[in-house]
Structure 1
């Protein structure tokens, strides 16, 4: 097993932070100044996971010299993926990268970032097209020999290459060595910055919540207008298709149903529609306080009732709801399920395939709520 690994615990904290705040992150960064930075966050998270979890299995002691050389490149490249991910996350969240000028690890003539880039280039990223022998600017080009551990070619460090110049006056090759411990120290220093990213995600989410709480949500006396406004608030505060999107969309359908059925049924559903105002008020308050999803709404059962007394027709209920929410659902068996629900008293006897879908939904939910 490769001893030069990175702590998985920090990665897991980052992944948990992304999961805990995914609604906020998706809603904020899916289109941030015209760019989908949520995709970048997901990419960084995925490749950090690949790198951290894959590092222990890079074999630096393989018996074949060439394989060992490639595995060293794999280690360096894996570290580089971690570094790129950390730097990109700093850009996404508009954080200052604090190690830009740091040179404390390699103590070279250039910054540690520039020196690591030189190590990466010499040991396999582009060893036959080098612009420098030590990371500093040069007019000469250099070409690296095959890399090998120090027992084969001598010198300081764990692995070395010889750098040959295209300048005919530079006859002697330059030995360039690197230490596993040093590149590991360099990487850990940058990987640890992930804790700052985690903290910033939480802070930005907190700021967003406070900003939304300060923005008063309007309330219209027209229930449909109120619901349409709440649908917009759901989109801007939580995200399209998230939060209470389904419930609000369902409520709009219930209040705009044509109610093309007998007066007695209209009186019955009127009681149900009146009770739904309590749920609408709860949704409004949840958006205003930004407490969506923190706890179940007291009247949410009005849209999600499945009374136990109708358990013998639970399959029929499932199929009718599937018919209501799927425009391409085959009609061949729907009539059978509607008759079953009518015979059990869930639906009135006049309901058929010809009944408007919004009316059917209203009658069905009103009946289920009444029987709960």
Structure 2
């Protein structure tokens, strides 16, 4: 097993920060000045995961010289993926990359980033097309030999290559060595910057939340108009199609259903619709205060009945709601489930596939919640 690994707990903390604030991040960065930077965040997170979790399995002590040389390249390339991810994340979050001129690890004539790029090039990234022998500008081109293990020679480093110049007057090759411990130290220093990114994500989310709280949501005495306002605010404050989108859209459908029912059912659904106003108020307060809760709302049972009375009809109800919400659901398959609900008294006998879907949804939800204590 390779001992030059990175702290997995830091990566997990970063991934958790992404998960905890994904609504904000998607809403903000999926179209940021015309660019989908959310895709970049996901790519960086995924490749950090591949790199950090894969590092322990890079075998640096393989018995075959050529395989060992390729595995050294794999280690360097894996570190480079980590570095690129960190740099890209700095760009996404408009953070200044603090190690741009740092030279504290390799202590050479060029910054550490430039010197690591030279190591990467010499040890396999493009060893037959080198523009420098030490990371500094050069008029000559160089070509690297195969890489060799030199740790057993007591030399300064673990692996080295010989660099041959394209200048025929330069006869002696240049030995270029690198140390696993040094490139690991260099990578850890940059990988540790994930901590500041976690703080930055939380800071930006807090700023966004406070800005939205200060923005007063419009109000209307017309319940459908109010719900349309909330639908728009949900897209801005959480994100389009997520958050409370389903609840708000369902409420709009319920309040705009044709209500082509006999008098008795009209009275029943009117009572149910009146009870929904408290849910509209709850949605307004949740969006205004930016207190979105994935575990549901106090009055969420008005749209999602939890009454044990219907446990034995769970599958039938599931299929009817799929028929109502899934345009690709085969309509003829719902007939059996409607008959089941009618036979159990959940729906009246005149209900069929010919019933308007919005009316069916309204009547069904009214019946499912009719025994809830909050219905008055």
The answer to whether the superposition gives a TM-score over 0.5 is yes
- Partner residue, 2:97: 97
- Partner residue, 1:112: 112
**Separation of aligned partners in 1, 2:333 and 2:157:** 75
- Partner residue, 2:336: 336
- Partner residue, 1:150: 150
Per the alignment, do residues 151 and 243 of structure 1 end up closer, same or farther by CA in structure 2, a change over 3 Å counting? closer
Question: Superposed, which structure 2 residues align to 1:162-311 within 5 Å?
Answer: 162-293=162-293, 296-311=296-311
Aligned partners of 2:151 and 2:157 also within 8 Å: no
Per the alignment, do residues 274 and 335 of structure 1 end up closer, same or farther by CA in structure 2, a change over 3 Å counting? same
Following superposition, the deviation at residue 294 of structure 1 comes to 6.0
After superposing the two structures, state which structure 1 stretch, 143-152 or 52-61, moved more: 143-152
- 1:315-342 superposed Cα distances (whole Å, 9 cap, x missing partner): 2212211111122222334223222212
- 1:196-246 superposed Cα distances (whole Å, 9 cap, x missing partner): 011101101000100110000001111111111111111111111211111
Aligned partners of 1:153 and 1:160 also within 8 Å: no
After superposing the two structures, state which structure 1 stretch, 289-298 or 20-29, moved more: 289-298
2:331 counterpart SS class: coil
**Separation of aligned partners in 2, 1:9 and 1:154:** 35
1:136 counterpart SS class: coil
**Separation of aligned partners in 2, 1:311 and 1:184:** 58
**Separation of aligned partners in 2, 1:263 and 1:356:** 17
**Separation of aligned partners in 1, 2:263 and 2:148:** 90
**Separation of aligned partners in 2, 1:151 and 1:306:** 68
**Separation of aligned partners in 2, 1:127 and 1:333:** 64
**Separation of aligned partners in 1, 2:260 and 2:97:** 64
- Partner residue, 2:61: 61
After superposing the two structures, state which structure 1 stretch, 299-308 or 31-40, moved more: 299-308
- Partner residue, 1:17: 17
1:175 counterpart SS class: strand
1:74 is aligned to 2:48? no
- 1:234-264 superposed Cα distances (whole Å, 9 cap, x missing partner): 1111111211111111101000000111122
5+ unaligned residues in a row in structure 2: which ranges? Answer: none
Following superposition, the deviation at residue 306 of structure 1 comes to 4.0
After superposing the two structures, state which structure 1 stretch, 147-156 or 271-280, moved more: 147-156
**Separation of aligned partners in 2, 1:241 and 1:149:** 56
Per the alignment, do residues 307 and 138 of structure 1 end up closer, same or farther by CA in structure 2, a change over 3 Å counting? same
Per the alignment, do residues 151 and 302 of structure 1 end up closer, same or farther by CA in structure 2, a change over 3 Å counting? closer
Aligned partners of 2:158 and 2:177 also within 8 Å: yes
Aligned partners of 1:44 and 1:85 also within 8 Å: yes
- 1:95-137 superposed Cα distances (whole Å, 9 cap, x missing partner): 0000000001111000000000000000000000000000000
Following superposition, the deviation at residue 85 of structure 1 comes to 0.4
Per the alignment, do residues 311 and 128 of structure 1 end up closer, same or farther by CA in structure 2, a change over 3 Å counting? same
Q: State the aligned residue count.
A: 372
- Partner residue, 1:324: 324
1:320 counterpart SS class: helix
5+ unaligned residues in a row in structure 1: which ranges? Answer: none
**Separation of aligned partners in 2, 1:369 and 1:176:** 76
2:217 counterpart SS class: coil
- Partner residue, 1:49: 49
**Separation of aligned partners in 2, 1:47 and 1:328:** 36
Following superposition, the deviation at residue 154 of structure 1 comes to 7.2
- 1:143-197 superposed Cα distances (whole Å, 9 cap, x missing partner): 0011101157774211111110011111111111111111111011001001001
After superposing the two structures, state which structure 1 stretch, 292-301 or 222-231, moved more: 292-301
Per the alignment, do residues 259 and 151 of structure 1 end up closer, same or farther by CA in structure 2, a change over 3 Å counting? closer
**Separation of aligned partners in 2, 1:312 and 1:106:** 70
* TM-score, length of structure 1 as denominator length: 0.97
Following superposition, the deviation at residue 295 of structure 1 comes to 5.5
**Separation of aligned partners in 2, 1:151 and 1:300:** 66
Per the alignment, do residues 354 and 151 of structure 1 end up closer, same or farther by CA in structure 2, a change over 3 Å counting? closer
